[in-house]
Structure 1
Amino acid sequence: MQIVPVIELLGGRCVSRPAGSAVEPTPWSVDPVEMACRWAAEGAERLRVTDRGAAIGEDADDTVIDEIIRRAGIPVDVGGGLRSRARVERRIDRGAARVIVGTLAVWEPELVAALAKWHPDQIVVALDLFDGKVVTHGRAYTCAIAPEELMDFYRPVPLAGIALTALGATEDVEARIAKVADLARGAWAPIQADGIVNSLDDLSRLAYVPGIAAALLGDPLLRGTFDLAAAHAVAHVDSAGVAEFI
């Protein structure tokens, strides 16, 4: 299982919140470009940058994202507020290794399917789940469509991956892992899990879930709960052992 550090941007600053939580994000007095370079130096093979401001309708942090891509020296995936073909293609043109589309993938799936065919291995569909239901527009709206239906729609589409973010007002980490595990079972594209890990114990449980290709980590790395070296050690377990979550 690959470890992918996440940088969330809001107003040019790093922000984070505990995995699985819908509380307001905490701002950090760290330079996002320096943080990206630090994680790359510590062994990250890939980064995720989420433009949280653009996701909730504020100005995009394009300048900061461009600088991260330019200086990180490793592939940088970018998401947040990419809700049109023009925005997606502009971000690819500006150097994103992959783009993550969430709201667009729910509201305009045919367009996203076409984008995936035009840009092979560069489109990741993000499904944000709150108490098991799909949410969009920066988690502001709850949708009637079931995540399983969306997964079925995208089955023939050549996606680079599917990012599953599990949040919950009442669900604990076991419930969120169970939901992600259920959706990952039999998946045809690499599954990236988010909203799960606040501790190495959480990560160790996720590492044994079949079908999970990557764990997205933001808040615990920023808080220093554990470092990348520890995360990598836990993630690289014997894949022969898998866990079942009912």
Structure 2
Amino acid sequence: MYIIPAIDILDGKVVRLREGDYAQKTEYNISLAEMIAKYQSNGTDFIHIIDLNGAKGDFSNQQSLFEIIKKTEMKVQYGGGIRTIEQVNHLLDAGIHRVIVGTQAITNPDFLRELSMAFAKKDDYANRIVIAIDVLDEVIKYSGWMESSPIKLMDYVDKCLNLGFFRFLCTDINKDGKLEGAAIDLYKKLLEHSPFIKLIASGGVSSMDDIKALAKFDIRSVVVGKAIYEDRISIEEIKEWNLKALSSI
């Protein structure tokens, strides 16, 4: 299991939200470029970036992000307000390694099918699309976690799999930003239902003990944000863990 450090951007600044609430924002005194450089200099080659402006339809952060990406060898997993196939193409062409799709995949019944058809002939396309599943008490939430989907969690996973998508980013909203431990029971249920999915865990990680607990299951990677910013997990610990993870593949 690989640790992917998270960076959330709002108005060009590095922040963290609690339970996805823009009103519960913690702002950090470091720029996006400095944060990426800090991770890269310590041996991390993969980062997770969520554009919180993009989630609300404002893509003013993207140009500066693209310029930073061009100057680094870091692989970027990016999400935030992606609503069209054209946006997915644009992001991949700009150097984004993986694109996260969430709300549109839930609210538009045809989006994933059209995305699958559009990318079917491209190499490794399914590996570069990440399906975000944000869950509150096993109910799928979307639109900044404000709306609830009637689609049952496992039915949605099955739909995505049937269309060729197998990489999922699952966030337990109850855990996000609280540093109270990861949603192991939720991940166990997902893996018991579909043991062959490539699952990315997100939310609640507070220490390396949480990382070790997640690593007991077939979880491919885990996104960690606030625990790093609050000095609960050091970048050196991430580097050491990831080197061992890579050597065991």
TM-score range (shorter-chain normalised) is: 0.7 to 0.9
Q: Which of 60-69 and 137-146 deviates more?
A: 60-69
Aligned position for 2:38: 38
Letter of the structure 1 residue corresponding to residue 154 of structure 2: E
Aligned position for 1:57: 57
The equivalences for 1:1-246 within 5 A come to 1-17=1-17, 21-23=19-21, 24-107=24-107, 108-119=111-122, 120=125, 121-159=127-165, 161-168=167-174, 176-185=183-192, 186-208=194-216, 210-233=217-240, 236=244
Query: Any idea what the Cα deviations from partners look like across 1:68-94, whole Å, max 9, x if unmatched?
Result: 311231211211110111211111121
SS at match of 2:40: helix
Distance 1:199 1:116, change over 3 A: farther
Query: Any idea what the Cα deviations from partners look like across 1:43-72, whole Å, max 9, x if unmatched?
Result: 212111111111133344112321331123
- Which TM-score applies when normalising by structure 2? 0.84
Cα drift, residue 175 of structure 1: 7.7
Partner Cα separation in structure 1 for residue 180 and residue 143 of structure 2: 24
Cα drift, residue 229 of structure 1: 2.5
Partner Cα separation in structure 2 for residue 55 and residue 89 of structure 1: 18
Aligned position for 1:244: none
SS at match of 2:183: helix
Partner Cα separation in structure 2 for residue 99 and residue 77 of structure 1: 6
Cα drift, residue 99 of structure 1: 0.5
Letter of the structure 1 residue corresponding to residue 112 of structure 2: P
CA contact (8 A) 2:102 2:142 kept: yes
Distance 1:3 1:118, change over 3 A: same
> Mind listing any 5+ residue stretches in structure 2 that lack a counterpart?
none
CA contact (8 A) 2:199 2:219 kept: yes
> Mind listing any 5+ residue stretches in structure 1 that lack a counterpart?
241-246
Aligned length: 235
Partner Cα separation in structure 2 for residue 183 and residue 126 of structure 1: 13
- Which TM-score applies when normalising by structure 1? 0.85
Identity of aligned residues (%): 23
CA contact (8 A) 1:37 1:71 kept: no
Partner Cα separation in structure 2 for residue 165 and residue 202 of structure 1: 15
SS at match of 1:26: strand
